[in-house]
Structure 1
């Protein structure tokens, strides 16, 4: 990877009007759980921005009592996601989009030789985050084999009022395998865009994509978490920015529910240039929290209704004398995204475990 001094990433924070947004809300009062490879204290992330967190790493069979601290990260992926959300911009680190928020690191075996256990560990971590005050849960990875354990954990977190974001994956140019977590009802599947605002070629895509954000050249941890470099961040980085966008909105409207925060992000997203309500690459569009904070756009709507769930039509119920089964009602049109009016932004390669397996289509709305 090139050193940070060799090339500079696009200033996506200026494009997102971050400085103006921070005058309204900076994420204060919101805890974002980053269930990932952990967090290592590094230049660019203040200690006060990161909570104690927890490690859910499984100990070796021969060392059943071995403990792993949550504030360590041999890979750097979780540290990068943390910095993208709350970094202070010093020492080569990125400036976080929601610098006033708190990150709760939940360390799994991602980035270690035991990474195959990360899915099951992540399920425990999601439950821990939900039980310990996380409003937003950031999942910049996926696991096909542990899906049946992750699914009830995500549902449990949602029952506690948490909003869950999941990276779509980075296999758009390969087999385009999607992160199965993104198919779950209420989970926001995040894709990535490039510097021109176009969908990133490597971004996995499909009917489970709900929003997109920047994921191209960014400051990330490299050299086995021994320094900051500039490289593509992919849907992992884009998901961290989507989580930070939600933190800004929720900080400004602390009485809203997860459904309401999700709804206004969807309603104010910069949608496809062809005028479609959504497409499989960017979903409803690029997250634009500035439209919520600065333009007061977006209707939060019902607090207990998933904005992504299909809505029943108003067709009358069949008469009692009818014997034929009624045809399933089609889902109503999804929340409308505003026209694409977001400046050039970027994204590319994501991180986490490989997303093997067959594409499973979400709850979809139509």
Structure 2
């Protein structure tokens, strides 16, 4: 990705990325000054209505890993963040706790807080079914305020291929994962809702109850963090652009399918390549409003994972993080598995 060269042009300075997730725990590898105070929107447990939770804590490690993917300094065994000059605003939800069933409603509240507090990019590396209507309203509110929203596709590619409903909301950038060769990662949920892809295979992630760094498959969670970081780089270089213009150039400059197709259901429009915008001056931002995404194809069979992005070396240079979390915890797992029955909803662009 030629990160060192990109950072001479822009490193994300001036851009705040809200990581609405499991919070952030100060760990080796993430500079304290890169993380804003943030907020916790966790609901108090039954019987303890006055109990509060600090934003700078994370019992799970998922949100901490997403933060490191964006602003990490590469020390202590952690990844080097793709946008080290950006600021991360942690918005702590119940993700990764026994209260995980509350994540959707909390996340909806957290999205609004983040936008009202100056976040330009909203990173959603999780999904929810039961609170979808509330989340959709919050996402639309964020968009009305000029924010750009990224949502992970999910890690059900080898199961029922359930796709995160948030990725179906018009204007949200659905992010899938690719491997070291730029092929669609088999675990990555896929379909017409996918817009961009980023590396999601082996990488440093927080593990052992957020007490250490380990190497695991990243999946679409960390791929989404890399996409958010890429947007921060582009927006930092072009602060006068709108969310629509940033999204448009990222899509135009993505490393598309190797067969020359405009997009496919495994990598979307392609592997994200911010260096094309910063170093090659590629991409036309176009009008400040409107829809940066072409209509999703209909009645087209999903390609096989052998359909790859055109620039594997660049895509593989990024690092990835924790697997998709909302499929594996408490009631949120049930919500994720329940998506299989809701895929009749079609994504429409306005």
Matched, 1:85 2:85: no
1:107 counterpart residue number: 92
Matched, 1:269 2:254: yes
1:244 counterpart residue number: 229
2: CA distance, partners of 1:61 / 1:70: 20
1:157 counterpart residue number: 142
1:128 counterpart residue number: 113
SS state at 1:149 partner: helix
C-alpha deviations, 1:166-190, integer Å up to 9, x for none?
A: 0000000100000000001110000
2:325 counterpart residue number: 352
Matched, 1:212 2:182: no
Unaligned runs of 5+ in 1: 1-15, 312-338
C-alpha contact (below 8 Å) 2:23/2:40 kept by paired residues: yes
1:340 counterpart residue number: 310
1: CA distance, partners of 2:86 / 2:160: 36
1: CA distance, partners of 2:20 / 2:125: 8
Q: TM-score by structure 1 length? A: 0.86
Matched, 1:60 2:33: no
Aligned residues: 323
Change in Cα spacing, 1:105 to 1:204, as seen in structure 2 (3 Å) is same
1: CA distance, partners of 2:348 / 2:161: 19
C-alpha contact (below 8 Å) 1:54/1:70 kept by paired residues: yes
2: CA distance, partners of 1:348 / 1:95: 11
2:305 counterpart residue number: none
1:1-366 correspondence to structure 2 within 5 Å: 16-308=1-293, 310=295, 340-343=310-313, 345=316, 350-354=323-327, 355-356=336-337, 357=339, 358-359=342-343, 360-363=345-348
2:301 counterpart residue number: none
C-alpha displacement at 1:342, in angstroms? 4.0
Change in Cα spacing, 1:347 to 1:205, as seen in structure 2 (3 Å) is farther
C-alpha deviations, 1:64-99, integer Å up to 9, x for none?
A: 011100000000000000000000111111110000
* Structure with greater helix share of residues: 2
Q: TM-score by structure 2 length? A: 0.90
C-alpha displacement at 1:341, in angstroms? 3.0
SS state at 1:209 partner: coil
Larger C-alpha radius of gyration, 1 or 2? 1
C-alpha contact (below 8 Å) 1:208/1:364 kept by paired residues: no
C-alpha contact (below 8 Å) 1:21/1:290 kept by paired residues: yes
Change in Cα spacing, 1:352 to 1:153, as seen in structure 2 (3 Å) is same
